[in-house]
Amino acid sequence: MSEPFVFDSRHSLCKTPFGAVSCGGTVTLCCRPLASEGFTHCAVVLRGEFSGNEEQVEFAWTALEGERTCFSAEFSVPEKPDLIWYHFRFWRDDGSGCVLDRSGYRGDGLVDPWQLTVYEETPTPPWFGEGVSYQIFPDRFCRLSVPDSTGMVGGRWVHENWADTPEWRPDSDGEVRNRDFFGGSLAGITSRLPYLADLGVTTLYLCPIFESASNHRYNTADYSKIDPMLGTEEDFRTLCSKAGEMGIRVILDGVFNHTGSQSLYFNVDGFYPTVGAAQSLDSPYADWFSFHPWPADYDAWWGIRTLPAVREDSPSYIQYVIEGEDSVIRHWLRAGASGWRLDVADELPDWFIEKIRAVMQRDFPDAFLLGEVWEDASTKIAYSQRRRYLLGRELHSVMNYPFRSALLAYLRDGDAALFCEAMETLRENYPPSAFSSAMNFLGTHDTPRILTVLGADVLPESREARAGYRLSPAELARGSALLRLAALVLFTFPGAPTILYGDEAGMQGFEDPFNRGTYPWDREDQDLLAWFRKLGGLRRKQVSLQKGGLQWLHASGPLLAFARIWEGRRVVTLVNASPESQTFSLPWSGTASDLLTERTYAPEDETLNLLLPPYAGLLLC
């Protein structure tokens, strides 16, 4: 009992089981104050976030072990999902005492409590977290011919040159309208399925594919129709079918908080022959939107007038998107999709997400529901409301932006302990299935390209300078070396490793739209591409990397080491994020093999003594 803590929520001496607990489960807590402090009583104070219930459970004196007094208690968590906040009270027979919270001992008053997530245990399809995902911005991945944009919504124009820089300059009205297209298509994606399978990809996440006035298609014009520049519903069904033959599923982007002002539903410019809400309050879509008054003023996403916000509580909207027999959710899952990613999940009410999950779980139990959440999704507060995303009835899991932030901080600043702490916080707070199914990534269509982030010495001040910026040879060398390490962690950590199209090929670019260039077919960085292929292949072959539990072996300074363990088989990731060589010793029995190079290492006295070159990594088994 030499551990120097009174209570550590992550240590089995103090709390079992680890992390979140399913409804009605039992938790055992143990506190270990120094005997010299004279405490004779201990209690845990529990407060339910959603129930509002508060109770105090007094501990029993358990033992005197060494210099510490041990108090313990066992209690059952609620039968309904909740977040339980807890801290401890210690007191002596004379009534004196103190409070213990995450900051240590303190007097009565405001406390910094620990979190216990109580979740409803519902099925989570395992295929997403076990596999490799690939995000595609459909206009920019692969085109088979230059399309004709005549007669399409939005006043589009098409780049003849696939290698052009996306248009970033404002128009004559000072607006960037995203009306330049490159002509990537669903048939183009289908033609590249062998390439994706060779990367080890098992899930395609497609940014919006429905008819829209903009190249990003987040301002939906018609949920029932594939954008004609991308193809047809038959093209989508063909993509899903042929992808399925290669063991690849497709997840769609659902943008249900807002539509486009040029949509069938709003129809501000009269493009569609039917009557939209902007044209008449007699429109069947009029109650989808909030006007103040009609038609000049209306609620819009973040005040952007081209993105009128939808009233999710409109009965006709609920039927159209979720509950109707041929609702948007049902129609495209029947057409071949295997799941949905909910755009701006923070803007969608909990009950709305719960309705989507209920339909999917009832009619498509193998489909996956993912949410765009940028923070710890277990404690997220949006619009003054604590969200219930991961408590069992809403999202299966979320996009793991905290993973990206913590990994980049480690690679740039060289402190592995901070990465470990950030990930342990999520592992403790998330239900196990949500943690193992999180979408982990190095970049998305909403972030600068990972190679640029890791390589660039400076951020050019002007957008014009950023538009044409390319890494110098020295920047490229450092960025590529760090990207290889980032990808190694990505592919071996719990969760679904996700590649933003072209990151594996060495694409560069700062913020939108410079991060949304076209895939450089026949101009890829072949060394980097080979590295991603190797990692994708290992993820597919090594069951430990798909399903294994997580064990931290070392996380300090530039050195990071963790193991994935499944049915007794262990695979160890070891990373040196320093520009200097580092030594590392690791307990090991038998010969170790590096899966990345097939080089073997022999232990001495059951210890591997390794010299890691600058910016190097190993994957040992």
384-406 pLDDT, tens per residue?
999 999 999 999 999 999 999 99
* CA of residue 358 relative to chain centroid, distance: 22
CA distance 547 to 562: 14
CA distance 228 to 217: 12
Q: Are 480 and 456 in contact (CB under 8 A)?
A: no
Which segments of the chain have a pLDDT < 70?
A: 1-2
CA distances from 261 to 154, 308, 514 (A): 10, 6, 25
Host H or E run for residue 224: strand 220-226
Which residue type, as a one-letter code, is found at position 570? R
Pick from 170, 97, 181: nearest CA to 141: 181
pLDDT of residue 2: 59
CA distance 75 to 60: 12
Host H or E run for residue 573: strand 569-576
Indicate the burial class of 488 (C-beta count within 10 angstroms; 0-12, 13-18, 19 or more): buried
pLDDT of residue 294: 96
Host H or E run for residue 193: helix 193-198
Coil, helix or strand at residue 194: helix
For helices 416-429 and 401-413, give the axis angle rounded to 10 degrees. 160
CA distance 314 to 55: 40
Which residue type, as a one-letter code, is found at position 492? T
Q: Which structure tokens are listed for 531?
A: 């590295």
pLDDT in tens, 95-153: 999 999 999 998 877 899 999 999 999 999 999 999 999 999 999 999 999 999 999 99
Q: Is the dihedral of CA 189, 193, 198, 204 positive or negative?
A: positive
Q: For the stretch 405-444, what's the b/e string if a residue is b when 16 or more beta carbons lie within 10 angstroms of its beta carbon?
A: bbbbebbeeebbeebbebbbbbbbbbbbbbbbbbbbbbbb
Host H or E run for residue 209: none
Total Cβ atoms within 10 A of residue 34: 13
Q: How far apart are the first and last CA of the chain?
A: 32
Q: Which structure tokens are listed for 195?
A: 């390439």
CA distance 495 to 131: 8
What residues are paired with 204 via a beta bridge? 134, 250
CA distance 59 to 433: 31
Q: Which structure tokens are listed for 288?
A: 């989808």
Pick from 405, 368, 436, 408: nearest CA to 19: 436
pLDDT of residue 1: 42
Q: Are 397 and 433 in contact (CB under 8 A)?
A: yes
Q: Are 248 and 540 in contact (CB under 8 A)?
A: no
CA distances from 130 to 152, 537, 592, 616 (A): 40, 13, 25, 25
What's the pTM? 0.97
Cis peptide before 123 (omega within 30 of 0): no
CA distance 133 to 156: 30
